[in-house]
Amino acid sequence: MTATEAEGPLSHSRVLKIAMPIVLSNATVPILGAVDTGVVGQMGLAAPIGAVGIGAVILSTLYWVFGFLRMGTTGLVSQARGAGDTAETGALLMRGLLFGAAAGVVLVLAQVGLFWGALTLAPASDEVESLARQYMAIRIWGAPATISLYVVTGWLIALERTRGVLVLQLWMNGLNILLDLWFVLGLDWGVEGVAIATLIAEWSGLALGLWLCRSGFAGDQWRDWARVFDIVKLRRMLAVNADIMVRSVILTLSFTTFLFLAADMGDVTLAANQVLLQFLEITAFALDGFAFSAEALVGSAVGAGSRARVRRAAVLTSQWGLIGAVVLALVFWLGGPMIVDLMTTSEAVRAEARDYRYWVAAAPVLGIASWMLDGIYFGATWTRAMRWAMLQSVAIYVLALALLVPWLGNHGLWLALMVLNVSRGVTLGLRYPGLERTVGA
């Protein structure tokens, strides 16, 4: 997209053009997980299912440590595009890919220690651990591709090419599913077959992603090494990504604390909370498209130095985010019991989950401000403010946990989580006028 196109009208249709492919793309993610589990389940043994599950979680956690490359790339590239600096958009792509490849190589080299540490923290039976190591030992070779794909995805979003993101996800997940069926059910390769299928899908996905980003390699900017390794731009990239990493780690620890506290309330409550957390995951998948729209459009407006366009982009994307949140709240309130029944056959867990379903119905509406402001701040690369806002919000969350859980039990735990989401929205919202003031006129 040229600078002229980037400065085109900000409209509802433009927001939806960016958002809807992301929503559809995200919808394919849980399908792949279900197929992985279902295919391994045809082996008729419990250990392979557990091994694939725990192995996938460990690798996803390791890879997502570098998830900041997706958000950081979107913000920086959208700003360069808004400023009409095509050469910098290509250089940013190369910078990110080099960093992603290097990070992946480090994970490959450190795999023995990483797997030992992860399985020490989350021990399982000897059989499950043995199969999980086999699975991870194969899949870890896809680390450079998977982490580099964060850069590719962020770059495509920044240029509003989210149909490319959808094509990429459909290709990777579709190929993964077909290879799962062939390798496991056809060739009887078991857990290793699932790992090989994913490895092939990851590397082929990177190849397709680079082709989708081919305009970034059209000129010589991607191999202008003086620009690519410009120390000032490298420092900015590292600072932005470091802030995002700190913010993401703190947020992840907050949800981990939620689960740890739930574990002390008994197996049924823990299981019910785990089921209800899937509603929050659905919310994140559904609303990501509008937050990503904010990243691309706000970043472009910041790059163009237009305060009015920043506000217009923030308002338009947030309006659609709110509509999506209200729709989800209604679906969860009216259809919550049916969704819970699909997720578990345990009557005790079903009954417990129904008692708390109004919390997940309230979550999209109470959390929409924080999710949309995240997108706005990522686009503006106001990441230091995000880091401080997250620290303040988590301090409030910890206080809420200390006061509410002893008093209200699991209801207090859910109320504290709602406090966290509202606090994130408030602390970011209070800083928003300052963000606007830093942008042109």
In a domain? residue 176 = yes
Q: What is the DSSP string of 296-325?
A: HHHHHHHHHT-HHHHHHHHHHHHHHHHHHH
Return the pLDDT at 169: 92
In a domain? residue 11 = yes
Inter-axis angle of helices 12-27 and 307-343, nearest 10: 30
Identify the domain boundary among 229, 252, 272: 229
CB-based contacts of 146, cutoff 8 Å, min separation 6: 63, 104, 202
The C-alpha atoms of residue 418 and residue 214 are separated, in whole angstroms, by 43
Average pLDDT, the chain: 89
Identify the domain boundary among 178, 198, 229: 229
Nearest C-alpha neighbor of 111 from the set 151, 139, 90: 139
Residue listed under structure tokens 């578990």? 344
**75 shares its domain with 145:** yes
- Please provide the distance, in angstroms rounded to a whole number, between the alpha carbons at the two ends of the chain: 24
Residue 184 is given by DSSP the state I
Return the pLDDT at 219: 79
**314 shares its domain with 219:** no
The C-alpha atoms of residue 350 and residue 338 are separated, in whole angstroms, by 10
Share of the chain above pLDDT 90, in %: 65
Amino acid at 319: Q
Return the pLDDT at 441: 67
The C-alpha atoms of residue 369 and residue 377 are separated, in whole angstroms, by 12
User: Both tokens of residue 411?
Assistant: 């209801």
pLDDT at 396 over 90: yes
**375 shares its domain with 429:** yes
**277 shares its domain with 193:** no
Q: 286 and 323 in contact (C-beta within 8 Å)?
A: no
Higher model confidence: residue 292 or residue 43? 292
Maximum alpha-carbon separation in the chain: 65
Query: Among the listed ranges 96-100, 119-123, 215-219, which one has the minimum average pLDDT value?
Result: 119-123
**192 shares its domain with 215:** yes
**308 shares its domain with 399:** yes
Q: Sorting pLDDT into bands at 50, 70 and 90, what band is 1?
A: very low
The C-alpha atoms of residue 325 and residue 361 are separated, in whole angstroms, by 9
Identify the domain boundary among 229, 252, 284: 229
Higher model confidence: residue 212 or residue 41? 212
pLDDT at 7 over 70: no
Q: 149 and 5 in contact (C-beta within 8 Å)?
A: no
**102 shares its domain with 13:** yes
Q: Sorting pLDDT into bands at 50, 70 and 90, what band is 30?
A: low
User: Both tokens of residue 70?
Assistant: 């997706």
**159 shares its domain with 98:** yes
Q: Sorting pLDDT into bands at 50, 70 and 90, what band is 14?
A: very high
Question: For the chain, what is the domain count?
Answer: 2
User: Both tokens of residue 253?
Assistant: 């620890």
**221 shares its domain with 280:** no
Return the pLDDT at 37: 67
**439 shares its domain with 323:** yes
Return the pLDDT at 2: 47
Q: 374 and 428 in contact (C-beta within 8 Å)?
A: yes
In a domain? residue 236 = no
Angle made by CA atoms 390, 395, 401, in degrees to the nearest 5:
120
| Tens of pLDDT, residues 243-288 | 999 998 898 888 778 877 877 787 778 778 877 887 888 888 889 9
| Tens of pLDDT, residues 412-421 | 999 999 999 9
Q: Whole domain around residue 124: which residue ranges?
A: 1-229
In a domain? residue 265 = yes
